[in-house]
Amino acid sequence: MSKSWQCPFCNNHSTVNNQNMSSGDLFFDNENKLGRLNLKIESITCPNPDCREFVLEAHLFESVIKNSNFGSSYVDGSLIYSWKLHPQSTAKPLPDYIPTAIKADYKEACSILNLSPKASATLARRCLQGMIRNFWEVKPQNLFQEIESIKDKVEPDTWEAIDVVRKVGNIGAHMEKDINQIVEVDENEASLLIGLIEMLIEEWYVSRYERKQRLAQIKQLGQDKDVQRKMKSNPVTPN
Ligand SMILES: [Zn+2]
């Protein structure tokens, strides 16, 4: 069996097969209230020779009887719960040139995603605010005004998505103002906000950094060629 896979440590995309994957099942019942269950543990090791990190996850399934022409056997039924054992959070490693406070908010938003999607959305909102202030150098106001002030600097659909992070993050940040108006944020919704933060880090910080690197290389190339040209026109003659 093989499948395409992205390593959460080095971000490399690869195809993993039985050489990179292991799994084991623990069946138990002991007259527990849910009946026969299967705890499946899976590990995948990154094939990238420079990484070789491994991911460890556990999934709890119902274990149900399936009847066929060949008799009956137990198969995995519906998934009850999943745990990320290593790494425990879905946070992607971010480059050193991203400001520390932004990295910290991003990491925390990822680590609290399962436990409290609402708190995660609030942190994603704060992370976004940090990015707008730092990257676009906007004057600190409230987030609504800060987002307004970059309206002509980003693509319209990006701008709309940014405004969604503000609105959803607000649900967590200001819920204490009116406790009768409880709006829930689920894990999927909060993970969409994290996905947007990752996309903007890529589009803003990583692109800017790579652009600078490329231009610096071209500049260096120009200087090297100048030196070579000068050496050709004034060759050093041996005495
Ligand atoms: Zn890797």
CA distance 142 to 169: 13
Q: How many angstroms separate the alpha carbon of residue 133 from the centre of ligand 1? A: 32
Task: Give pLDDT, residue 174.
Answer: 62
Encoding tokens for residue 229? Answer: 């040209």
Task: Give pLDDT, residue 225.
Answer: 87
Q: How many angstroms separate the alpha carbon of residue 47 from the centre of ligand 1? A: 7
Q: How many angstroms separate the alpha carbon of residue 18 from the centre of ligand 1? A: 17
Q: How many angstroms separate the alpha carbon of residue 40 from the centre of ligand 1? A: 23
Encoding tokens for residue 164? Answer: 């969604």
**pTM for this model (two decimals):** 0.67
Q: How many angstroms separate the alpha carbon of residue 94 from the centre of ligand 1? A: 14
Query: How many residues are listed for the chain in this entry?
Result: 239
Q: How many angstroms separate the alpha carbon of residue 112 from the centre of ligand 1? A: 23
pLDDT tens for each residue of the chain, 239 residues long:
899 999 988 889 999 999 999 999 999 999 999 999 999 999 999 999 999 999 999 999 999 999 989 899 999 999 998 888 998 888 888 899 999 999 999 999 999 988 889 999 999 999 999 999 999 999 888 889 999 999 999 999 999 999 988 888 877 666 545 555 556 888 889 999 999 999 999 999 999 999 999 999 999 999 998 888 888 887 766 66
Helix (H) or strand (E) holding 70: none
Task: Give pLDDT, residue 175.
Answer: 53
Cα within 13 Å of Cα(86), Cβ side? 10
Task: Give pLDDT, residue 93.
Answer: 83
Task: Give pLDDT, residue 4.
Answer: 95
Task: Give pLDDT, residue 81.
Answer: 87
Q: How many angstroms separate the alpha carbon of residue 13 from the centre of ligand 1? A: 9
CA distance 99 to 212: 17
Q: How many angstroms separate the alpha carbon of residue 122 from the centre of ligand 1? A: 30
CA distance 39 to 58: 7
Q: How many angstroms separate the alpha carbon of residue 135 from the centre of ligand 1? A: 29
- Alpha helices, DSSP H, located in the chain: 100-111, 117-135, 143-148, 156-173, 187-200, 207-233
Q: How many angstroms separate the alpha carbon of residue 57 from the centre of ligand 1? A: 16
